Amino acid sequence: MTLFAAQSLCLLQEEVEVAELSDIHDLVVHNDEVNTFDHVIDTLIEICEHSPEQAEQCTLLIHHKGKCTVKIGAYETLAEMRGAICQRGINAEIQ
């Protein structure tokens, strides 16, 4: 393999990796004054498949910082989760 071919192959691999990463999004839950800690924790456990500890930590971050990324993944997967979270009255968005 020539040096040029090897460099081209590396650049192509980097472009593929960047393209794959561009499909990665954040599911962000926002704080509100309506939902209880228990409701948010239960929702994160059921919909996002968080452990109880992870759900509690995310809920504390949501409460104190105003928002928290609760899941990272493909847009299609997160869109389903966002819909289910919003149906429970919790504000969420995909970034």
Q: How many residues does the chain have?
A: 95
pLDDT reported for residue 95: 96
Residue percentage of the chain with pLDDT more than 90 = 76
Nearest to 59 by CA among 73, 78, 39, 77: 39
C-beta of residue 76 within 8 angstroms of C-beta of residue 24: no
The predicted model gives 29-44 an average pLDDT of: 97
Residues 78, 43: Cα–Cα separation, whole Å: 14
Residues 68, 20: Cα–Cα separation, whole Å: 23
Helix (H, G, I), strand (E, B) or coil at 45: helix
pLDDT confidence band for 51 (50 / 70 / 90): very high
Is the per-residue pLDDT at 48 higher than 70? yes
